[in-house]
Amino acid sequence: MRVAIVGAGVGGLTAAVALRGRGIHADVYEQQSRPAEIGAGVSLGANGMRVLDGLGLGAAVRGVASNLPRIQFRHWRTGGVFHEHPLGDWYERRFGGPFLGVHRADLHRVLLDAYEGKPVLGRRCVGVQEGADGVTAEFADGSRVRADVVVGADGLRSAVRAHVAGADAPVFSGTSCFRGLVPGSDIDGLTFFLGPGRHLVAYPVRGGDFVNFVAYVPDPGRPRESWSARSTPGEAAAAFDGWTATVTSLLGRAGEVGRWALYDREPVRRWSTGRVTLLGDAAHPMLPHAGQGSNQAIEDAAALAACLAAGDDVAAALHRYEQVRKARTRQIQAGSRGNAACFQLPDGPAADERNARLRDLPETAGWIHGYDIGAAVTGP
């Protein structure tokens, strides 16, 4: 079997490694002319790390990441901690893997090294032609690739999704985020500062060399999302005027600040046609408020490889893959939307009630972090 994967992001590369690990030939085609080594932090939970461990990449990822010892929720104005829970060893014992902060470029490099074939660069997919005995991916430079399966791992603005699901549009959340890295900071865990209409999440990456922050603000425009859109530390700090000095000085000390408009999509009705399927953000783009974008793409990759390896009937394998993945990713998409409003409540009874509910977090988030995609594929 020959699989052509469109998109060399976290999802596409993990799928290529997982497929090859099961003896299936997989090539990756990426629109950019060099691998995308930009971005800031991503968090990896036990559910994603279980897959990376299974692919033999756990040590390499741990080597470039930060193992986060705790989760903390702090008040926007006073900076006071109103809820804290251990992660670290506690989390690993509970959910079977670590909770890591990792620079996206570092994760990407580990995956690229593992996928020794190297993606074919400068290939922007513009269409897919499907027949009974094969499928062809078409690229903007006029080239074509024939395969048994095409996987659209081409992100939020997926070209392959249009073939599978028709033309639906990304949904703007009305918010954007400032993001950046700050060297040397006393923030050592997964730290939330929650306040009215805004919130900030920070955690260390690269073994603590940097703290990654993402600071969410309302945005009346409809900007295009782009990890290379620039802002300034001053603009980011000004957007959090009146917040605790821990927040404003963190933002003000960033070397570079990017600005990213936040989009997701409504859940897609179907993921697959006979020989074409979707993976990661192409299938289920989600707002970042559950920290699951990369983890879900990694789970998808493991599920797809297991389903394709189980037999020769491609359509049945893709159907099984979709069946295993659809409900879970829908639920996380919806939860990610809901979390934003909950993180940005003004001080008052509703915020007090949320703060009380945070004590149940280990139980309420268990279905996400304790999940074993391997068991889900082989299960009923």
Ligand X SMILES: Cc1cc2nc3c(=O)[nH]c(=O)nc-3n(C[C@H](O)[C@H](O)[C@H](O)COP(=O)(O)OP(=O)(O)OC[C@H]3O[C@@H](n4cnc5c(N)ncnc54)[C@H](O)[C@@H]3O)c2cc1C
Least distance to ligand X from the beta carbon of 123, Å? 6
* Beta carbons of 121 and 6 less than 8 angstroms apart: no
Least distance to ligand X from the beta carbon of 278, Å? 9
Least distance to ligand X from the beta carbon of 154, Å? 4
Is residue 216 flagged as an active site residue?
A: no
Rounded CA separation 196/340 (Å): 11
Residue from 48, 98, 195, 280 in contact with ligand X (CB under 6 A) = 280
Q: Which of 203, 263, 321, 371 is catalytic?
A: 203
* Beta carbons of 111 and 117 less than 8 angstroms apart: no
DSSP track, 52-119: HHHTT-HHHHHHHSEE--EEEEEETTT--EEEEEE-HHHHHHHHSS--EEEEHHHHHHHHHHHSTT--
- Let me know if 311 is exposed, middle or buried by CB neighbors in 10 A (0-12, 13-18, 19+): exposed
Binding to ligand X, residues 82-111 (CB under 6 A)? 104
* Beta carbons of 374 and 302 less than 8 angstroms apart: yes
- Let me know if 131 is exposed, middle or buried by CB neighbors in 10 A (0-12, 13-18, 19+): exposed
Q: Does 38 bind ligand X (CB under 6 A)?
A: yes
Binding to ligand X, residues 295-324 (CB under 6 A)? 297
Binding to ligand X, residues 124-143 (CB under 6 A)? 124-125
* Beta carbons of 68 and 203 less than 8 angstroms apart: yes
* Beta carbons of 51 and 11 less than 8 angstroms apart: no
Least distance to ligand X from the beta carbon of 128, Å? 11
Residue 297: other Cβ atoms inside 10 A: 27
Residue from 3, 4, 26, 39 in contact with ligand X (CB under 6 A) = 39
* Beta carbons of 29 and 4 less than 8 angstroms apart: yes
Q: Does 180 bind ligand X (CB under 6 A)?
A: no
Residue from 1, 2, 32, 370 in contact with ligand X (CB under 6 A) = 32
Least distance to ligand X from the beta carbon of 340, Å? 14
Is the Cβ of residue 118 or residue 357 nearer to ligand X in the bound state? 118
Q: Does 372 bind ligand X (CB under 6 A)?
A: no
| C-alpha distance from residue 340 to each of 164, 231, 298, 330 (Å) | 30, 22, 23, 16
Residue from 5, 20, 30, 165 in contact with ligand X (CB under 6 A) = 30
Least distance to ligand X from the beta carbon of 160, Å? 7
* Beta carbons of 141 and 152 less than 8 angstroms apart: no
Binding to ligand X, residues 41-60 (CB under 6 A)? 41-42
Is the Cβ of residue 180 or residue 244 nearer to ligand X in the bound state? 180
Is the Cβ of residue 107 or residue 306 nearer to ligand X in the bound state? 107
Is the Cβ of residue 9 or residue 204 nearer to ligand X in the bound state? 9
Is the Cβ of residue 1 or residue 120 nearer to ligand X in the bound state? 120
Show the tokens assigned to 144: 């074509």
Point out which span in 24-32, 66-74, 87-95, 270-278 binds ligand X (CB under 6 A).
24-32
Using the CB atoms, write b or e for 90-117: b if 16+ within 10 Å.
Answer: ebeeebbbbbbbbbbbbbbebbbebbee
Rounded CA separation 145/162 (Å): 18
How many residues interact with ligand X (rule CB under 6 A)? 33
Residue from 3, 4, 10, 302 in contact with ligand X (CB under 6 A) = 10
Which residues in this chain contact ligand X in the complex, by CB under 6 A?
A: 6-12, 29-32, 36, 38-42, 104, 123-125, 153-155, 159, 227, 280-282, 288, 293-294, 297
Catalytic residues: 203
